Amino acid sequence: MAIPEKRINKFVETLKNILKQKATNLRIHSITATSEAGSGHPTTCLSAADIVSALFFHAMRYDTNDAQNPNNDRFILSKGHAAPILYAAYAEAGIIATEKLCTLRQIDSILEGHPTPRFEWTEVATGSLGQGLSLGLGMALNGKFLDKSDYRVYVLLGDGETAEGGVWEAAALASHYQLNNLIGIVDVNALGQSQRTMYAFDIDTYCQRFEAFGWQTIGIDGHNFDEILPALDQAKASTDKPTMIVAKTFKGKGVSFLENADNWHGKALAKGEDLDKALAELGPLHLEPIQIEPPTAVESGVGHSAAAVCEPPDYPTDEDVATRGGYGTGLAKLGTANPNVVALDGDTKNSTYAEQFMNLHPERYFEMFIAEQNLVGAGIGLAKRGKIPFVSTFAAFLSRAYDQIRMSAISQANIKYAGSHCGVSIGEDGPSQMGLEDIAMFRAIPQAVVLYPSDAVSAERLVSEAAAHEGIVYLRTSRPKTPILYDTDEKFPIGGCKVIRKSNEDIATVVAGGVTVHEALKAHQILAAEGIAIRVIDLYSVKPVDAEALKAAAADTNTTLITVEDHYPEGGLGDAVLDAVATENICVHKLAVTGIPRSGKPEELLEHHGISANAIVEKVKSVTGV
């Protein structure tokens, strides 16, 4: 029997009244919490209140007792400075106590100034603007193609952040993958931090821009529930496109002296007259419980697991193999051993050798094209849904996504980065393609692991080590083919190193990584022919570094360490060694690439920049006086 229209209309009116009151509550909480903190961004919370109310208390399905429910709808606050309204929504949903909102921004509070996973309902850190849509893309890829779940991903963006290129990288990829489970909302309040935004209230232009990228777009009044609710329903009904709802709002909505007013960005209302006046205008707070629709039940699936045992490396000992080749082979084997491993690449898969994974596991490979910010952002999103993503491109191009890499640490993401074509050893392609800053970049990331294999065997083994490690790992691979150094059963634990040449007569220790290990071995041979013995260490783990092994080697070799690396001197392998032995009265001499390189053959460039076997021989003789 059909439900009478009158009854339906009454239900809809009741719903809208509840959502309006919830929006008022969100505004009150946001103003009160920021005033208590004495800082924050209340006006941007007020513009988004009606949208957030409709999302959290009508559109989204989630288990209020379980933040980790695999089928919860996901919400990403890309405009992270509106964090107070996010916490307010969870308080209104009964997830956190309302009183806790007044701990906002305190040092012992989980409610930080911009969202981080210290609050368990925040999956990803935001606040560096322009990244939320990429994070949502990764989560939507997981839901549609990997878990095959029916959860949706909602991303709330500020209008100002749509000037960021990363937003449009994500927009292009979301359309390419037809992510109908990805719904964005742009809060167009027309006020940036220092001035009006680029398009102010021009909703049509925003819609046209996203439409040009292949999205369904819906322009609405972001304070009118008669438009908000149908827009969300239309977005949820999409079968082949992502949807962007473009909502015209007013910053400071609900408080007359704040509404659409300049110079209120990032300013809390002072306690007293301003706060009292604002609260009086908003009206009373009604903390009425509301029933949140739970997600549909799903199997937990394969779950999050560390790397399983892979097939061992298998290379002819007389064959030269590039470490990037070892990476590709190891990654493909890892994908067979562990169904949670996924791979993403930025249209360099035939150079990074990620294509070996793609060929074996095409359903778990995602091409991100030449859009490195989105490459990393999507990887973070996948990581936060329990996958183990390996993100690969040229080492040099990861610098373009360094902000996303930095934010992956704040998001506590279990993500692995692989940078190939490092150093001058790539040869003729020249300096724009040479990763010479990458070790320094990743050493600066808190708790990140930095690995630098010197042959294909160690590269394969370190891929497995990276997957088994919980957290960020960077694996640096080289272009040139190099000899196999290690037996196939050799192990390479994180934090270790290999002493590959040693005698009781060693007068100095050469510490190298990657291609320079092979130069150090050539130097060892040249010096041995002259009756001079040196120790050679393969420092495959640059962070954490094996400080005890370095100290022991120095103690045996006249307290003399010589580091040699295909990297700039600042922040690289040499500095890792210096940091490890700085208090030990050990002399560290660094050989590294200086100046801007140029095109040339690899061996010419190693010689020119003083990191060749000949340069090592010269350095050993000069520092030891032999």
H helix or E strand, kind and range, residue 564: strand 560-564
- Alpha carbons 464 and 310: distance in angstroms, whole number: 8
Single out the catalytic residue among 36, 123, 372, 519: 372
- Alpha carbons 434 and 567: distance in angstroms, whole number: 9
Identify whether the C-beta of residue 417 lies closer than 8 Å to the C-beta of residue 354. no
Q: What is the signed CA dihedral for 20, 22, 23, 24, rounded to 10 degrees?
A: 90
- Alpha carbons 477 and 322: distance in angstroms, whole number: 8
- Alpha carbons 593 and 422: distance in angstroms, whole number: 12
- Alpha carbons 122 and 115: distance in angstroms, whole number: 6
Q: Which residues pair with 419 in a beta bridge?
A: 393, 476
- Alpha carbons 306 and 471: distance in angstroms, whole number: 11
What single-letter amino acid sits at 439? I
What angle, 0 to 180 degrees and rounded to 10, lies between the N-to-C axes of helices 323-337 and 456-468? 40
Burial of 309 (0-12, 13-18, 19+ CB in 10 A): exposed
Q: Who's near 357: CB < 8 A, 6+ residues apart? A: 328, 331, 332, 335, 343, 364, 365, 390
Q: Which residues pair with 183 in a beta bridge?
A: 154, 243
Identify whether the C-beta of residue 352 lies closer than 8 Å to the C-beta of residue 392. yes
Q: What is the DSSP string of 377-411?
A: HHHHHHHTTT-EEEEEEEGGGGGGGHHHHHHHHHT
Name residue, tokens 């701990």: 103
What is the CA 499 to chain-centroid distance, rounded?
Answer: 34
Question: What Cα–Cα distance (Å) separates residue 130 from each residue in 161, 186, 251?
Answer: 5, 12, 19
Asked if 372 is an active-site residue, the reply is yes
- Alpha carbons 459 and 462: distance in angstroms, whole number: 5
Instruction: State how beta strands 535-538 and 498-501 pair.
Output: antiparallel
Q: Both tokens of residue 278?
A: 């604002």
Burial of 600 (0-12, 13-18, 19+ CB in 10 A): middle
- Alpha carbons 476 and 126: distance in angstroms, whole number: 27
Identify whether the C-beta of residue 339 lies closer than 8 Å to the C-beta of residue 302. yes
Q: Which residues are designated catalytic?
A: 372
